[in-house]
Amino acid sequence: MRAGLAIVAALIVLAIIGPPLWGDQAEAINSAAILQGASAAHPLGTDNLGRDLLARVLVAGRFTLMLALLATAIGAVVGTVLGALPAVLPRKGARFVTGLVNALVAFPGLLLAMFVAVIAGLGAKGAVLGIGAAIAPGFARLTQTLAASVAGADYVSAARMLGVPRGRILARHVLPNIAEPLILNLTQAMGGALLGLAGMSFLGLGVQPPSFDWGRLLFDGFARIYLTPEVALGPAVAVALAGIGFNLLGDGLVKKARRARPSTDKAVAPRPEPVAADPEAVLDVRELTVAFPGGVTPVRELSLTIRPGEIVGLVGESGSGKSLTAAAVGGLVPYPGVVGASLLHRGGEVAMVFQEPALNPALKVGGQLAEVAIVRDGLSRAEARERAIDRLGRVHLPDPARSAKSHPHELSGGMRQRAVIAMGLMGSPKLIVADEPTTALDVTVQGQILKLLREVVDQTGSAVLFISHDIAVVGELCDRVVVMYAGRVVEELPVKELAAGAAHPYTRALIASLPDMETDRSRPLASIPGRQPAPADVGEGCAFAPRCALATERCAAERPPLTVYGPAHRVACWEA
């Protein structure tokens, strides 16, 4: 990227200063020094009229770049129009244009360029038109692909439903949303055009004397390559360097657009003093912090203790840090995030269950389960298989032996989620971390999965950390509920107090804003004004204060600590 930028910048400077600086020298005919090789006076030698070739190479930069720019512009405009036309034309016309583009893409580019150049006439005009024609199909194809993906977007459907004319949809919705990759592609096309034009001139189809570009200089020098190779070397190096420069720059731009530049500053997590773990707990976490570069801290000083046989619900809205808490517990925080804690104690094996069942679609379900036992416990293939079928039966998959032989896509969503739970049971997990395991499922299936989790806990004595955005689901399954807001725990309470005994204004508002089958339909639903602050924007005081009806000056200035409110009930609120 940097090298590309430097080369392209140098080329632009050369194009600007080249002709005024060396123009006279490049045109100066010297009959005493024709067809010379390299010398102190002429580092790259002279041509058949005794003109200095170094000066000619430096001067030709402007013309070469201008031609390439022009050819790229022609190719890009024609290509974009061709690619976008199917989106506006009636079906038959669209099909014709698509077919035409397909045929042109299949046709060799250089042949197309030569064909057009011969028809348009020898010289710079023909070469530029030819290269433009060669670039256009690629652009058309790219535009078509990008436009097709945007055309399926909801906002295009919405515009169609409003009766917005096709042309306007193209101009206002489609083109602006595909402009970025097209513009990135321009840089690379520019490199291609430059090489293509040089090729055309080299074949004698391009620039004709007395005009000259790098390709023409190369063509002239090539005849003498066995006697004085340096006369061909100058223009060849220039062409190669320019081609490499534009391609490097284009590559760099594309990569940069695809993903944000990997941040050089590292995330820092606080390292508090270690403390001793509760020996009975299957999970004991104190002052857990998850941090990302740039001061983004989605989880802040979270403490959580889970004992065997307990089902603990972790509730919060999107962005509250609940899923990253689960990831930290499972040791799965993605790079470049870092985890800091005064204690992160797991009292045994941890099994993870995710929202989208994590099964490899290419492998049979039974094999994937058996693999766990083979790798982890060193069981034989037959033993592992037997255990897999046993576990699939335990999660109530009908006909476990047959389910084991099926691929994941042959099972319904609910059955897949059961299979993943069975996979967790292949070992003997002390803790099952379930991150939104029922969110993608239907309500009736959701009920079955919740029942299954409860049953697993009763049978095996393992504990569950159940993460959900749905406080009603958590209320139905869990023994204890932990409510998160903006990265911190704001309340922790026994589930039986959830409906009537919640003390934090946020918990109360969450419950009130959730309609259930008994909600009074004659009154408006409660809702919370404003929005949760982003992980980078959490301030000093209580993060909920700006949305809280009870907030005072103290709330904005000073963060309330999580303090005991009742038996097994803790709240972080000055006003509770």
Q: What is d(CA 539, CA 536) in angstroms, rounded to the nearest whole number?
A: 9
Q: Give the pair of three-digit tokens for residue 546.
A: 């700006």
- Which region among 141-149, 199-207, 456-464, 511-519 touches another protein (by CB under 8 A)? 511-519
Q: How far is the CB of 161 from another protein (least distance, A)?
A: 6
Among 164, 240, 556, 576, binds another protein (CB under 8 A): 164
Among 43, 93, 99, 176, binds another protein (CB under 8 A): 176
CB atoms within 10 A of CB 374: 18
The reply to whether 318 sits near another protein by the rule CB under 8 A is: yes
Residues 482/306, Cβ–Cβ less than 8 Å: no
SS3 of 173-218: the string is HHHHHHHHHHHHHHHHHHHHHHHHHHHHHHCCCCCCCCCCCHHHHH
The values of phi and psi at residue 77, to 5°, are -65, -50
Q: Which of 377, 442 has the CB closer to another protein?
A: 442
- AA identity, residue 480: R
Q: How far is the CB of 249 from another protein (least distance, A)?
A: 25
Angle between helix axes 175-202 and 53-88 (nearest 10 degrees) is: 140
The reply to whether 173 sits near another protein by the rule CB under 8 A is: yes
Among 496, 536, 537, 552, binds another protein (CB under 8 A): 496
Where helices occur in 378-494 by DSSP H, the ranges are 381-394, 400-404, 413-424, 443-460, 471-477
Q: What is d(CA 6, CA 124) in angstroms, rounded to the nearest whole number?
A: 28
CB atoms within 10 A of CB 344: 18
Q: Which of 111, 257 has the CB closer to another protein?
A: 257
Among 25, 30, 102, 177, binds another protein (CB under 8 A): 177
Q: What is d(CA 572, CA 549) in angstroms, rounded to the nearest whole number?
A: 16
User: Would strands 488-494 and 343-346 be described as parallel, antiparallel, or unpaired?
Assistant: unpaired
What is the Cα gyration radius of the chain?
35
Q: How far is the CB of 77 from another protein (least distance, A)?
A: 21
Sheet holding 563-566, edge to edge: 350-353, 431-435, 463-468, 311-315, 480-485, 488-494, 569-571, 563-566
The reply to whether 519 sits near another protein by the rule CB under 8 A is: yes
- Which region among 98-106, 128-136, 253-261, 466-474 touches another protein (by CB under 8 A)? 466-474
Q: How far is the CB of 497 from another protein (least distance, A)?
A: 10
Q: What is d(CA 261, CA 294) in angstroms, rounded to the nearest whole number?
A: 13
Q: How far is the CB of 155 from another protein (least distance, A)?
A: 4
Q: Per-residue x/- marks for another protein, 286-315, CB under 8 A?
A: ------------------------------
Among 37, 308, 348, 447, binds another protein (CB under 8 A): 447
Among 43, 515, 539, 561, binds another protein (CB under 8 A): 515
Q: How far is the CB of 510 from another protein (least distance, A)?
A: 6
Among 154, 273, 540, 553, binds another protein (CB under 8 A): 154
The reply to whether 513 sits near another protein by the rule CB under 8 A is: yes
The reply to whether 550 sits near another protein by the rule CB under 8 A is: no
* Residues lying near another protein in the complex (CB under 8 A): 153-155, 157-165, 168, 172-173, 176-177, 317-318, 413, 442-447, 450, 469-473, 475-476, 495-496, 498-500, 509-511, 513-517, 519, 521, 524-528, 531-532
